[in-house]
C-alpha cells in the first residue's frame, strides 16, 4: 500500500509509539514512583529538550523555534501514547487519593532491555537524567523551572531574528 495514495502521512516523531516510548522510559527510570499526566508533560519536555534546561546536556530532538508551545499540546499526545502502552501491559494506571497516575509495569525493564537502537539509548540516558534531577520535584516547581527556561528560549530566537 502506497502511503501517498491514501493521503496517510508518516509521522516519525511525537506519534503514539514514540511518545509512549518516551513516557515508558521516564516511568521506568522513575520507578517505583508513579507520576500524573501533567507532571509527565513537564518531564517529557525536559527529556526531549534537555539543553533548554541544562546546556551541558544534549537535547534528544533538534532545537526548533517556538518549541515552548509544545507544552500546550503535549498532554493529549502523551495520553494517547500512555493508552497504547497500557494496552500492551508496559504501563500501569494507578488510582490514588491525588487522582490518576502512571507507573512502569513489571514488563517495562525487560522490554526496554531488548531494544538497542541508538535513539532509544539516548532516550534512556535523557530519561535517567530527568528522573534523577526532576521527578521528585513538585509540579509547581517544575512549572516554574520550565517557565523561566522558556523565557530564555523565546529570547534566543528573538535575538537570532535581529541578526
Domains of the chain: 16-162 (1.10.10)
Which pLDDT band, with edges at 50, 70 and 90, does 137 fall under? very high
Has residue 13 got a pLDDT over 90?
no
Task: Take residue 95 and report the three cell numbers written for it.
Answer: 488510582
Percentage of the chain beyond pLDDT 70 is 76
Cα distance between residue 47 and residue 45, in whole Å = 5
Has residue 100 got a pLDDT over 80?
yes
Model-level pTM?
0.83
Which pLDDT band, with edges at 50, 70 and 90, does 153 fall under? low
Q: Residue range 118-125: average pLDDT?
A: 94
- Say if CB 98 and CB 33 are below 8 A apart: no
Q: Residue range 109-128: average pLDDT?
A: 94
Amino acid at each position: 500500500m502506497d502511503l501517498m495514495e491514501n493521503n496517510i502521512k508518516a509521522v516519525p516523531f511525537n506519534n503514539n509509539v514514540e511518545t509512549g516510548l518516551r513516557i515508558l522510559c521516564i516511568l521506568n527510570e522513575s520507578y517505583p514512583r508513579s507520576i500524573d499526566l501533567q507532571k509527565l508533560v513537564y518531564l517529557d519536555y525536559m527529556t526531549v529538550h534537555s539543553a533548554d534546561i541544562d546546556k551541558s546536556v544534549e537535547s534528544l530532538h533538534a532545537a526548533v523555534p517556538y518549541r515552548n508551545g509544545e507544552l500546550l499540546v503535549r498532554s493529549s499526545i502523551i495520553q494517547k501514547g500512555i493508552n497504547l502502552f497500557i494496552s500492551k501491559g508496559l504501563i500501569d494506571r494507578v488510582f490514588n487519593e491525588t487522582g490518576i497516575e502512571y507507573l512502569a509495569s513489571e514488563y517495562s525493564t525487560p522490554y526496554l532491555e531488548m531494544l538497542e537502537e541508538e535513539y532509544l539509548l539516548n532516550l534512556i540516558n535523557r530519561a535517567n537524567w530527568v528522573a534523577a534531577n526532576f521527578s521528585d520535584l513538585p509540579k509547581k516547581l517544575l512549572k516554574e523551572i520550565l517557565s523561566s527556561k522558556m523565557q530564555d528560549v523565546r529570547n534566543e530566537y528573538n535575538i537570532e531574528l535581529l541578526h
